Structure 1
Amino acid sequence: MHCEFTDFLHDLTYDDLTPQLKGVAKGWLLDLVAVAACATDTALSRIIRDHAADHFGAGTRTATMLFDGRRVSPAGAALAGGMTIDAIDAHDGHKLTKGHVGCGVLPALLAFCEAENIDDGGDFLASLVLGYEIGTRAGIALHRMACDYHTSGAWVAVAAAALGARALRLDAARTREAVGIAEYHGPRSQMMRCIDHPTMLKDGSGWGSMAGVSAAYLAAAGFTGAPAITVYGEDVSDLWSDFGQRWRILEQYFKPYPVCRWAQPSVQAVLDLRTRHGLTSEAVERIEIKTFHEAIRLAVRHPRTTEEAQYSTAFPVASALVRGHMGPAEVAERSFRDPEINRLADTITFTETEAFNLAFPARRFSDVTLYLGDGRMVSSGPTEAIGDPEVPVSTDAIRLKYKEYTHPVLGADRACAIETCIDSLASGTGLRSLFGLILAPAADAPLQRDCA
């Protein structure tokens, strides 16, 4: 397995990818860029980018922070990019990892490509696919092996280091050291602590990305690490036996709303009821939600920060019922004082349902009942969120979200230029135009329509 892992990591090319894989990779890339652009206005993103500029200064190798323009070390760029994307909880995820691969993998890949002068669009896409394949497997492996529930950064670090080994052309021995260092240094942070007390720590993705980038450069310099048990352990060998045959990138879910995935079945249920029955929030006296344990742990009703709003079930449900939509504006601070949203949030009662608990994490259900002022009650029945891989959303839906998240921040022209560059990525296409558009500050990148 050691040789198979290393060979596949270093040998996969753009031409090895099917048209489906190429299309899905571009879709996730477009979505991640959209979330990153939208997130640049958050306090979390501003703080972490300033921190990277102050404390992760550029050395012999440099990389530019995503939508910032300042050059820092590759590890600093990965840290800032991963935490910026994570600042708005609207990026792709995987059910069995209970976390997110792309959020930490993309900033690491951008940093390696810039620092190592990698300028081929096809190789970039192949590496992005590999990041999803490795990160997803490492995440499932860690959940199997560890008794606690760790954040995505714990296993994103492994994927980031592997991409570094590929970018730096490390041999098999040093590749093994790189992923071993990353797994050892990756943030084994306890996810449920941040669920119960939502803060800017979020899912640890940026810290994992930083640890993975550092691990690759350490391994290149001769630093040694313990074997990565999430990759090389005998008890997880089955997860890696189909490497290159089963494509885990196809198993990621799409998030239509910028809140924790666990809250999204309830949000979807209330939006469905609102549309189906032509309701306004004023007609609703109270709300009853039957769902699974983890969704109920998202317990904030009246958020003071966007982090609390994103890690809540009651607030986004109330907000969606009031506004008929759940987008970035609904988790921004100006929404927290809306009296109608706060009224409805206070009316919500939660019931934990054993059947829904047993279905988790492979499936996430909610059953919402609205009690109306005229004495009627309307129920959603068991509802799942939109965007699961079993029923993937259309390309049009991804592009519509992209426009919603990017146009207010970047302007239509620049957002369109980025979209065109991503659509055009292939072997032989350069990355210079794309990088110029997504690495320059969100407010003033030069417009470049050519993707050569």
Structure 2
Amino acid sequence: MHTNDLADASPDFAMLYAQFSSALSFSEIPRSVIAAAKLNIFDTLACSIAGFKAPGVQEVLDIVRDWGGKPEAEVLWTGLQVPAPHAAWINGIMAHACDYDDTHDKAILHGGISVVPAALAAVGVASHKVTGKEFYAAVVTGLELICRLGVATRIGLIQAGFIYSGLFAHFAAAAAAARVLRLPPKETLNAIGIAYSQAAGTHQVTRDGALTKRMQPGFGARSGLTAVAMARKGLTGAQRIFEGQDGLGRTYLQSELDSDVLREGLGRRWHLEDLAYKPYPCCRMNHCAIDAALQLRAQPGFDWTRVSEIRVYTNAQGNQAVGQHLEANTVVQAQFSIRYNIACALVHGAVGLSDFTSEALSRPEVRSLAARVTPLVAEDIERSAGRNVTPARVEAVIGDKVFTAQVDEAKGGLQKPMSGDDLRRKLEDCLSFGGFDSRRASAFDAAIERLEDSDDIAVDIRQMIGGILNR
């Protein structure tokens, strides 16, 4: 059932979710869901370390410093305290800047980069000590909402013109912050409704290779904090937020938001458990192609220096998302260039954070090979996975021989999860790239382990930051 079928029905899913999230207690959350939230917190904060010195982050940090204001919430990895909406904003930007963060392969979005920064910022304005268990409940609340919205959306991001990580971030951040602050259902609903008045997240930033691509989830986190502050003062927002006549479903998603999927199994089926974690710091639509390229590289007789042509087949959505940046002249373009990522994989046998710097983009051997890659749409892949993160088939021509590899599910997902060693290497890579000592990875791991049992999450987060800064 699509949203327009419920235009005059009651209640809106937003009301149901406000009631659900306000009442959700840690003890009611299955251990597997807590484990999923823990992994998300780990990965989101690790990615924020890598993003600390990424283009755009220090510039925003300069803006926030210039603005000043009440010291409410921590800017990660700085020791700086700023007003909560500002902290949520810059921490969200930091977590997404390297495009290394989580992804929901069915919903086509990132979750933690708006939810975790919003929950952390809300801790700074709470009038009570927020325990680790309350913090976990808030993160679960936000992650489940953003994932449900994504799974229930039946229109692709290319057709809609929105990046769902940025668009749905506003609602998820508001829900997470409201749960931290123990808002009752009415105020939680108003917060989500106020967030709706701020919601945006265009796909055009990807097409243009703009730095604001990495900032949109942070905007969502910031608006969530603004929304809960307003709701706490008694201000009202839209009530029929998702399914109303002018709700999200019709006005943003062309009436392709499935109300049945939104509601199905709420409190029993946890979509946040399906979040995947990235082994490569680039758009998830590239990942199957990278894995396929690495398989090609390992085939007997393959020599990338002799390749005359490479064809990469994806679904239409993948082709639009990562097949259009023929020249990777900026880091954002490179993150969204299937040609560039295949070339990196074939030339170096890996794709990592060091491949996404202005210096790396000029490497002649990578640029030369990338120019030989032709992105194409495969009808069979479109039929089987038209709405999902795209599978990829890569064909490389050497003389009269064609080397072929196809990958249908990228590493890091449910079928091919990252191992503990993979996650540790990723954390160490993030620390080094962010300018920190990779030997502090053990202290970071230990701090994450302690969060669930924390009596005061604000104190433990400050200690975690101090551990990374070695102070």
TM over 0.5: yes
1:421 matched to 2:431: no
Provide the C-alpha distance between the structure 1 equivalents of 2:156 and 2:54, rounded to a whole number of angstroms.
35
Q: How many correspondences in the alignment?
A: 440
Provide the C-alpha distance between the structure 2 equivalents of 1:51 and 1:96, rounded to a whole number of angstroms.
36
1:184 matched to 2:197: yes
Select 1:109's aligned residue among 106, 109, 119. 119
Select 1:219's aligned residue among 211, 223, 231. 231
The 3-state SS of whatever aligns with 2:195 is: helix
Provide the C-alpha distance between the structure 1 equivalents of 2:143 and 2:290, rounded to a whole number of angstroms.
27
Give the CA deviation at 1:112: 0.7
Provide the C-alpha distance between the structure 1 equivalents of 2:167 and 2:240, rounded to a whole number of angstroms.
12
Q: Is the 8 A contact 2:47 2:101 kept in 1?
A: yes
The 3-state SS of whatever aligns with 1:224 is: coil
Moved more, 1-10 or 35-44: 1-10
Q: Is the 8 A contact 2:391 2:406 kept in 1?
A: no
User: Which whole-Å deviations, capped at 9, do the CAs of 1:128-158 have from their partners, x for residues lacking one?
Assistant: 1111101112334565699723222221111
1:307 matched to 2:332: yes
Give the CA deviation at 1:278: 6.7
Provide the C-alpha distance between the structure 2 equivalents of 1:231 and 1:79, rounded to a whole number of angstroms.
28
1:431 matched to 2:457: yes
Give the CA deviation at 1:322: 0.7
Give the CA deviation at 1:238: 4.1
User: 1:53 — aligned with what?
Assistant: 65
Unaligned regions of 5+ residues in structure 1, if any? 447-452
Change (3 A) 1:58 1:415: farther
Q: Is the 8 A contact 1:35 1:85 kept in 2?
A: yes
Percent identical residues:
26
1:135 matched to 2:160: no
Q: Is the 8 A contact 2:316 2:386 kept in 1?
A: no
**Letter of the 1:422 counterpart:** I
1:353 matched to 2:361: no
Change (3 A) 1:441 1:156: farther
**Letter of the 1:172 counterpart:** P
1:37 matched to 2:49: yes
Give the CA deviation at 1:341: 0.3
**Letter of the 2:206 counterpart:** I
Change (3 A) 1:441 1:231: farther
Change (3 A) 1:388 1:164: same
1:247 matched to 2:270: yes
Provide the C-alpha distance between the structure 1 equivalents of 2:154 and 2:221, rounded to a whole number of angstroms.
19
1:20 matched to 2:35: no
Change (3 A) 1:80 1:231: farther
**Letter of the 1:87 counterpart:** A
Provide the C-alpha distance between the structure 1 equivalents of 2:161 and 2:94, rounded to a whole number of angstroms.
23
Change (3 A) 1:219 1:430: closer
User: 1:73 — aligned with what?
Assistant: 83
Change (3 A) 1:125 1:399: farther
Give the CA deviation at 1:228: 4.6
Select 2:104's aligned residue among 79, 88, 94. 94
Give the CA deviation at 1:52: 2.4
User: 2:205 — aligned with what?
Assistant: 194
User: 1:84 — aligned with what?
Assistant: 94
Give the CA deviation at 1:247: 0.6
1:330 matched to 2:355: yes
1:267 matched to 2:290: yes
Provide the C-alpha distance between the structure 1 equivalents of 2:397 and 2:86, rounded to a whole number of angstroms.
50
Provide the C-alpha distance between the structure 2 equivalents of 1:345 and 1:145, rounded to a whole number of angstroms.
27
User: 1:153 — aligned with what?
Assistant: 166
Provide the C-alpha distance between the structure 1 equivalents of 2:302 and 2:380, rounded to a whole number of angstroms.
29
User: Which whole-Å deviations, capped at 9, do the CAs of 1:42-79 have from their partners, x for residues lacking one?
Assistant: 12111122222223x333x6112122222211111111
Provide the C-alpha distance between the structure 2 equivalents of 1:67 and 1:352, rounded to a whole number of angstroms.
42
Provide the C-alpha distance between the structure 1 equivalents of 2:467 and 2:76, rounded to a whole number of angstroms.
8
Change (3 A) 1:268 1:118: farther
User: 1:229 — aligned with what?
Assistant: 241
Provide the C-alpha distance between the structure 2 equivalents of 1:162 and 1:258, rounded to a whole number of angstroms.
28
**Letter of the 2:328 counterpart:** P
**Letter of the 1:332 counterpart:** T
| TM-score (norm: length of structure 2) | 0.86
Change (3 A) 1:280 1:434: farther
Q: Is the 8 A contact 2:291 2:410 kept in 1?
A: yes
Change (3 A) 1:437 1:295: farther
1:343 matched to 2:354: no
Q: Is the 8 A contact 2:108 2:388 kept in 1?
A: no
Provide the C-alpha distance between the structure 2 equivalents of 1:286 and 1:23, rounded to a whole number of angstroms.
44
User: Which whole-Å deviations, capped at 9, do the CAs of 1:302-343 have from their partners, x for residues lacking one?
Assistant: 323211111111111101111111010011112112111011
User: Which whole-Å deviations, capped at 9, do the CAs of 1:209-266 have from their partners, x for residues lacking one?
Assistant: 1111100111111111112532777962541342211111111122111111111111
Q: Is the 8 A contact 2:285 2:389 kept in 1?
A: no
| TM-score (norm: length of structure 1) | 0.90
Change (3 A) 1:108 1:283: same
Give the CA deviation at 1:357: 2.1
**Letter of the 1:269 counterpart:** A
User: 2:137 — aligned with what?
Assistant: 126
Q: Is the 8 A contact 1:63 1:114 kept in 2?
A: yes
Unaligned regions of 5+ residues in structure 2, if any? 1-10, 250-257
Provide the C-alpha distance between the structure 1 equivalents of 2:464 and 2:153, rounded to a whole number of angstroms.
32
